[in-house]
Amino acid sequence: MHAFDVLGDPVRRRILELLADGEMTSGAVCAVIRAEFGISQPAVSQHLKVLRDSGFATVRPDGARRLYAVNSGPLQEVDAWLDRFRRYWTPPLEALATELARGRRERRRRTDDGPHPEEGKP
């Protein structure tokens, strides 16, 4: 399955968001996903299996529990693929950052050079 097929599903994206904060048991993942999406436990398990089989998630046994975590490898591949498109949003974002910094400098200058107590007196 192609990475974007995996990431194209909102349930799987949400599971990865949850796992980005650290390992979670399958039961904890299932509880959140069932509450947010209203799908059954077997459906959540199937999404976890897709993430595991496609390499986006790892699983390790911990006694009777199964702990899931993000595997960064496929995400790095997605990031590398997106790299060729960054030119479309990076310059506008850099320009925005420059304008924001310019505005902050101007506000500081006005605050630092604000009206002096003697100004405005006859």
Block residue for tokens 């976890």: 48
By CB neighbour count within 10 A (0-12 exposed, 13-18 middle, 19+ buried), where does 101 fall?
Answer: exposed
Write down the mean pLDDT value for the chain: 89
pTM above 0.85, yes or no: no
**Domains in the chain: boundaries:** 3-70, 76-112
pLDDT in tens, 44-97: 999 999 999 999 999 999 999 999 999 999 999 889 888 888 877 667 677 788
Architecture of domain 3-70: Orthogonal Bundle (1.10)
Q: DSSP for 69-97?
A: EE-HHHHHHHHHHHHTTGGGTHHHHHHHH
Comparing 116 with 11, the larger pLDDT belongs to 11
Express as a percent the part of the chain with pLDDT over 90: 58
